A and B are shown apart, each in its own frame.
Chain A
Amino acid sequence: GQNIDQPTEMTATEGAIVQINCTYQTSGFNGLFWYQQHAGEAPTFLSYNVLDGLEEKGRFSSFLSRSKGYSYLLLKELQMKDSASYLCAVMDSNYQLIWGAGTKLIIKP
């Protein structure tokens, strides 16, 4: 079966760095997405990785290792507004998105 695993919840301190991991097992791979979702709102796009390596975009970076079925989202200089759920999703061989359950990130002052 297809499976996306990510931690349920993480806590970090304002100004610090946090890494949210995602491991996947899917039928085929056509890229991995990270989305941010605040409570009661729709997800917003953060990043897309299809090749191995690190993609940096401001305070957020995303890493992919296809051989390990592994990705992480790195958030630097954490701000209170970064408190949200972070969803990992993999596009399978049929170009359908398989979603993880999301990681709730709690930022403390």
Chain B
Amino acid sequence: GAVVSQHPSRVICKSGTSVKIECRSLDFQATTMFWYRQFPKQSLMLMATSNEGSKATYEQGVEKDKFLINHASLTLSTLTVTSAHPEDSSFYICSARDRDYGYTFGSGTRLTVV
């Protein structure tokens, strides 16, 4: 089946630094990648949708200059949290739409900003 590899699974960074999260589709071409954030005991919140070769579409309230998304190839999308602050600590998950309109999720990244 379709697999999305997400790295790192867990990261701790200092406030003010930047963190990059990668998602790779391993056996299919992901023309569209979705980036979600999930706070404890809450559902997934869509942050942005990226399409290969074009700018990402951000949801209302999500700062595009803070959460930089790059989808340079059909198999790789990255999310960079710039100048991270403790309130950015969350579980970040990517998801790609595979061949059959299914959604395959990466394993998630637990970000802790100290």
Interface residues in chain A, defined as those with a beta carbon under 8 Å from any beta carbon in chain B: 30-31, 33, 40-45, 48, 87, 91, 95-97, 99-102, 104
Question: What B residues does A30 contact at CB under 8 A?
Answer: 101
* Chain A residues touching B, majority SS: loop
Question: What A residues does B97 contact at CB under 8 A?
Answer: 95
Q: Contact at A45–B104, with CB atoms within 8 Å?
A: yes
Given that A99-B44, A100-B43, A102-B43 are contacting pairs, would A48 and B102 also be in contact in the complex, using a CB cutoff of 8 Å? Answer: yes
Cα distance A99–B45 in the bound complex, in angstroms: 8
Question: What B residues does A31 contact at CB under 8 A?
Answer: 101
| Contact partner, A42, options B46, B93, B102, Cβ 8 Å | B93
* Minimum distance in angstroms from B1 CB to a CB of chain A: 9
Interchain pairs with CB closer than 8 A, number:
41
Given that A87-B43, A87-B44, A99-B44 are contacting pairs, would A43 and B105 also be in contact in the complex, using a CB cutoff of 8 Å? Answer: yes
Size class of the B contact interface (CB-based, 8 Å): 20 to 34
Interface residues of B in 99-114 (CB under 8 A from A): 101-108, 110
* Chain B residues touching A, majority SS: strand
| 8 closest Cβ pairs, A-B complex | A42-B105, A42-B108, A101-B43, A99-B43, A102-B43, A99-B44, A42-B93, A42-B107
Question: What A residues does B43 contact at CB under 8 A?
Answer: 87, 99-102
Interface residues of B in 40-86 (CB under 8 A from A): 41-44, 46, 49
Given that A40-B91, A42-B93, A87-B43 are contacting pairs, would A97 and B103 also be in contact in the complex, using a CB cutoff of 8 Å? Answer: yes
